[in-house]
């Protein structure tokens, strides 16, 4: 089955066409600057053929028209007819408390997504736009929603309630939701495969370290706690987000500097994190380079980042009564041996020991723990698109069987 995977942002649509039977990516790319001048579509085919075109792409419907035209194009395409796309899988950011798994998109689901817009005002409207654009461009093709929040929906109440009046939870649904669920789920599954163990018997701590960063405690295949919260702002230090912060700090700053709600939101989401501390960059590669050049602020940014990960490893090991595997994924987790080493430094007392040679080897997917150490430390490239494709196929197959 060929599944078109879509990740619709405010001004971009990322896509992949996946042959789910062969687990092979046929093509993938991104439409950027939707609704702006100089909008582009960049497409890369499985054989490496790459093309970038500039067009007038005013909205998501046109963006999806461009994507389909590219997939069908004689010189750069991979299919000969629209009917070669058998299903569409959407990455949807927020499923609220309604969706604890992937679902076939129906009118009712779209209505619920609209109701959840308040929980994810920056994301869900674009996801809905993408779904509607597919309805008009690919009529009758089944669409499936795969939610970033779903994997964390089985967290116990003690992990998701905040220490504020309970009525605010019932009235406004203020609680921990957690994000990056598809990635945490994929790498936890893959960790069990790599260790030839049953996931139901494992305590896995997963670290998704990319531009956004989050960790999850996965016990017996269930996410029992995670570091992102009501929004993706909580938890680890990130490229430009603060992560955990005494909430009084922001109230204090709003009073001192007369910040509006929007300004405070921008400060915490766009000017904090690695960027905020270092004053140099949100990109971990530049932070490491400048740290090696002796820059103090870059060093502090690196240290705060890694120390925060380490604290969560301790917390999640405590939550699960131990840890069998610690997994690194995401752009930083997959690529930075320096970060992995610093996050695990001094954790030998809990059976986490990293082997320097394995940590710096060129393999993409690997075990980096010292042979014989109690807990496995693994590096696993995430593959959210594959999870979305496989979930989509499962739901569409069920639908066919009636």
Instruction: Answer yes or no whether residue 239 interacts with ligand ADP by CB under 6 A.
Output: yes
Give, as one character, the DSSP assignment of residue 66: H
Count of CB atoms situated within 10 Å of the CB of 164: 11
The answer to the question of residue 364 lying near ligand ADP (CB under 6 A) is no
Catalytic residues: 148
Burial class of residue 45 in the structure, from the number of CB atoms within 10 Å of its CB (0-12 exposed, 13-18 middle, 19+ buried): buried
Q: What is the 3-state secondary structure (H, E, C) of 240-262?
A: CCCCCCCHHHHHHHHHHHCCCHH
Residue 42 vs 335, nearer CB to ligand ADP: 335
Q: According to the binding rule CB under 6 A, does residue 181 interact with ligand ADP? A: no
Cβ nearer to ligand ADP, comparing 29 with 77: 29
Interface residue with ligand ADP among 29, 95, 212, 235 (CB under 6 A) is: 212
Do 276 and 232 touch, CB atoms closer than 8 A?
no
| Residue span binding ligand ADP (CB under 6 A) among the ranges 63-71, 191-199, 210-218, 393-401 | 210-218
Strands 222-226, 13-19: pairing kind: unpaired
Asked if residues 18 and 91 have their Cβ atoms less than 8 Å apart, the reply is no
Which range binds ligand ADP by CB under 6 A, 104-112, 280-288, 341-349, 366-374?
A: 280-288
d(CA 33, CA 56): 10
Contact between 96 and ligand ADP (CB under 6 A)? no
# chain residues binding ligand ADP, by CB under 6 A: 12
Three-state SS annotation for 333-383: HHHCHHHHHHHHCCCHHHCCCECHHHHCCCCCCEECECCCCCCEEEECCCC
Q: Which of 16, 203, 330, 389 binds ligand ADP (CB under 6 A)?
A: 330
Query: Can residue 211 be called a binding residue for ligand ADP (CB under 6 A)?
Result: yes
For residue 146, the cross-strand partners are: 91
Q: For residues 138 and 344, which CB has a smaller minimum distance to ligand ADP in the complex?
A: 344
By beta-carbon distance, which residue lies closest to ligand ADP?
331
Is 283 a binding residue for ligand ADP by CB under 6 A? The answer is yes
Q: Residue 55 has which token pair? A: 């067009």
d(CA 217, CA 313): 9
Shortest spacing between CB 80 and ligand ADP, in angstroms: 32
Selected range binding ligand ADP among 1-9, 109-117, 224-232, 326-334, rule: CB under 6 A: 326-334
To the nearest whole angstrom, how small is the minimum distance from the Cβ of residue 84 to ligand ADP? 28
Binding site residues, ligand ADP, CB under 6 A: 210-212, 239, 283-285, 330-332, 335-336
């Amino acid at each position: 089955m060929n599944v078109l995977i879509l990740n619709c942002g405010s001004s971009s649509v990322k896509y992949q066409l996946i042959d789910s039977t062969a687990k092979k990516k046929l093509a993938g790319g991104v439409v950027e600057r939707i609704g702006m001048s100089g909008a582009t579509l960049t497409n890369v085919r499985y054989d490496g053929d790459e093309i970038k075109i500039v067009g007038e792409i005013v909205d998501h419907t046109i963006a999806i028209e461009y994507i389909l035209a590219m997939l069908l194009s004689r010189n750069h395409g991979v299919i000969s007819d629209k009917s070669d796309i058998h299903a569409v899988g959407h990455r949807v950011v927020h499923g609220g408390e309604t969706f604890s798994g992937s679902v076939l998109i129906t009118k009712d689901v779209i209505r619920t997504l609209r109701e959840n817009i308040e929980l994810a005002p920056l994301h869900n409207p674009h996801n809905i736009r993408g779904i509607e654009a597919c309805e008009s461009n690919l009529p009758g093709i089944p669409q499936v929603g795969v939610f970033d929040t779903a994997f964390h929906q089985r967290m116990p109440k003690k992990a998701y309630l905040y220490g504020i009046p309970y009525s605010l939870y019932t009235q406004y649904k203020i609680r921990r939701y957690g994000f990056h669920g598809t990635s945490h789920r994929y790498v936890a599954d893959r960790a069990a495969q790599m260790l030839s163990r049953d996931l139901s018997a494992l305590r896995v701590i997963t670290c998704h370290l990319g531009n956004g960063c989050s960790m999850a405690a996965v016990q017996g295949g269930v996410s029992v706690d995670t570091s992102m919260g009501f929004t993706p702002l909580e938890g680890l230090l990130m490229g430009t987000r603060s992560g955990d912060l005494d909430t009084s700090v922001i109230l204090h700053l709003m009073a001192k500097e007369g910040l509006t709600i929007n300004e405070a939101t921008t400060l915490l989401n766009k000017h904090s994190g690695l960027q905020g501390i270092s004053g140099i960059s949100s990109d971990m590669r530049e932070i490491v380079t400048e740290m090696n050049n002796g820059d103090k602020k870059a060093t502090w940014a690196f240290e705060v980042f890694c120390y925060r990960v380490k604290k969560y490893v301790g917390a999640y090991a405590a939550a699960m009564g131990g840890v069998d595997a610690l997994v690194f994924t995401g752009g930083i987790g997959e690529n930075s041996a320096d970060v992995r080493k610093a996050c695990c430094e001094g954790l030998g007392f809990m059976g986490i020991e990293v082997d320097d040679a394995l940590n710096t080897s060129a393999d993409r997917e690997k075990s980096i723990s010292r042979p014989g150490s109690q807990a496995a430390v693994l590096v696993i490239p995430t593959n959210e698109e594959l999870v979305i494709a496989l979930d989509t196929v499962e739901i569409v197959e069920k639908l066919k069987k009636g």
